[in-house]
Chains A and B, each alone.
Chain A
């Protein structure tokens, strides 16, 4: 076996894993925060993510058509589309909760779940319809920026594209901001209190519905940012783009311990790294018997093993049930 090659590509594989992992982490936060306050698996979250991607591409294509794309600094444009993706996805998530989940509060658990699946299909088709009418196409490609595709060469076998670094840095910034909000601020305390016990939180003076909306806003915004970053990183998006990253991010949330915010971050990174390692090393390690296409099987097998031994997830805690 070619150990030297294995070792030489290691940093590259880690970087690929981190890019993927941070993307999963950003999306996973939306699942885990909503689960934390409502015990609802928000199946529409993958579409909130997808919509973020479309906001980014629409702004870029419009700017391209007007020639503005070349007049502004690409990093300014990037920050602008991330913020816009966050705003639209965040507001959309709030609206979805208002319209599709809140009226079903108190209904048996399966009912809002089905509503979520319905919203998911609705948003896919809405985007498909909208883009078909507007651009006559719903597979859209992000205009590329030379500045983002530049590769930073660190060694002969290791070079990172600028956009990979952007994904990592932007995700880290958002994860830190969220962690700070949740653990250090009054609002964060209220979110945690609502997640634990809604009636008692309301006895403290917390407007529970407002906190639930805020949770959807934050989770949706993170998902929207991930959508834009996904487009910048992998270029092409379509109305069904959300499905696979959504499923994986949900898995990451479960892996970390659903409802647990640091857990979602850890779960996302673990899953991203597992996948990247499998994609690069499986064929090398098995002498070509298993190729990169087995990466998901490999990654999910490991997940199953982890969950067998830690059913509450990596950081999930055992919380005493209330009587």
Chain B
């Protein structure tokens, strides 16, 4: 579904991505792992159009995405739940979800809000509340729910576990797996490699802007380098 090849991204003089290539197949969950500053966020931001690459290709089922602005990429079926959640604090929970459906003009928006509430019952209880008053976990649920409202073919999740208690992370990862089972392809950025590899099919490990390792989730979880670096052994 998604093919990224030889992607180079710069922040001014800083060469943040030095020729990244990766692919995500239809129906997969692919994990993007690596330490802080490796370039994971930069990769997903470039895919969703927030950053324009210096060179390289991003192809989504044949169509080229590189250089297309973010607000047009959503229309191609890519939704991005950004790092740090970035929900609209001053909008209500429902309004945040409606913003997620901004590109849509079909009559199924209300039904899909209902679907998000079924995935995250906590959000239903707080649906009229201003989003800034939600707890961190609820905000993360809202950020994922909001991205789902675009009905994406490909969902980009950037560190959904960041700053959350282990029980909440568990819940959120269960839901991510459920969303994937219902047919959404997912590229999952995580520093929490253990959790990510539990639900992912395959994974890539990034370090200082390059892919250093790739394989199935099982292989990566068994790899001694990965275990030492990311699984705390």
Contacts and interface: CB of A to CB of B under 8 A. Distances in A.
Interface of A: 186, 189-190, 192-193, 196-197, 199-208, 317, 319-320, 322-323
Interface string B110-138: 00000000000000000000001000000
Contact of B89 (A196, A201, A206): A196
Interface in B48-106: 48-50, 69-72, 74-75, 79-80, 82, 84, 86, 88-91, 95, 98-100, 102-103
Given A186-B102, A320-B132, A205 B88 contact: no
Contacts of B99: 189-190, 193, 201, 204, 206
A204 B91 contact: no
A190 B82 CA distance: 18
Contact of A205 (B50, B89, B90, B102): B102
Contact of B88 (A193, A208, A317, A320): A193
Contacts of A189: 91, 95, 98-99
Interface residues of B, number: 27
A320 B80 CA distance: 23
A183 B74 CA distance: 24
A205 B103 contact: yes
Contacts of A204: 71, 74, 99-100, 102-103, 146, 150
Contact of B71 (A196, A206, A319): A206
Contacts of A190: 99, 102
B90 A192 contact: yes
Contacts of B88: 192-193, 196-197, 200
Nearest to B75: A205
Nearest to B78: A203
Contact of B50 (A192, A203, A317): A203
Contacts of A320: 89, 132
A311 B89 CA distance: 21
Contacts of B150: 204-205
A8 B49 CA distance: 65
Contacts of A323: 84
A217 B91 CA distance: 23
Contacts of A201: 99
B84 A203 contact: no
Q: Nearest 5 CB-CB pairs, A to B?
A: A205-B103, A205-B74, A202-B70, A200-B86, A204-B102
Which of A201, A202, A203 has its CB near the most chain B CB atoms (within 10 A)? Answer: A203
13 contacts: A186-B102, A189-B98, A190-B99, A190-B102, A196-B89, A196-B90, A202-B71, A204-B150, A205-B71, A205-B75, A205-B103, A320-B89, A320-B132
B209 to A, nearest CB: 21
B71 A208 contact: yes
Contact of A203 (B82, B89, B98): B82
Contacts of B80: 203
B64 to A, nearest CB: 19
Which of A189, A192, A200 has its CB near the most chain B CB atoms (within 10 A)? Answer: A200
A323 B86 CA distance: 10
A192 B91 contact: yes
A202 B86 CA distance: 12
Given A197-B86, A202-B50, 4 more contacts: A192-B88, A196-B90, A199-B70, A204-B74
Nearest to B98: A189
A206 B102 contact: yes
Nearest to A188: B95
A10 B48 CA distance: 60
Contacts of A317: 90
Nearest to A323: B84
B90 A319 contact: yes
Interface in B189-219: none
A32 to B, nearest CB: 14
Contacts of B89: 196, 319-320
A186 B101 CA distance: 10
